[in-house]
Amino acid sequence: MEKEKKEELKKEIKEEVFKKIKKEISEDDDSPGGLFIPAGVLAGLGFGFLYNEIVAGLFIGLGIGFLLFATYEILRSIGKK
């Protein structure tokens, strides 16, 4: 009797865990916000070549990419409410 209860409890726990995982996966909707960072780096690289300041262009592009990514995520989280 005890063994059956333990097996039933294990089964219920597994089902709950799978439900939570499915819910988390369905809520995570492949946001394109992460593409701003490499796009900023590439754009900065291009401007760096143009103005003959490659390293400065990379850092500026990286900073702009992070700024755009953060802005996108903040606006997206506000829009979900």
Query: Which tens digit of pLDDT belongs to each residue from 9-61?
Result: 878 887 887 777 776 665 556 678 789 999 999 999 999 999 999 999 999 99
Q: pTM of this prediction?
A: 0.61
Residues 6+ apart with CB under 8 A from 33: 69, 72, 73, 76
User: At 73, is the pLDDT very low, low, confident or very high (cuts 50, 70, 90)?
Assistant: confident
Residue 48 has a pLDDT of: 94
Residue 25 has a pLDDT of: 60
Per the CB < 8 A criterion, the answer to whether 61 and 53 are in contact is no
Residue 29 has a pLDDT of: 62
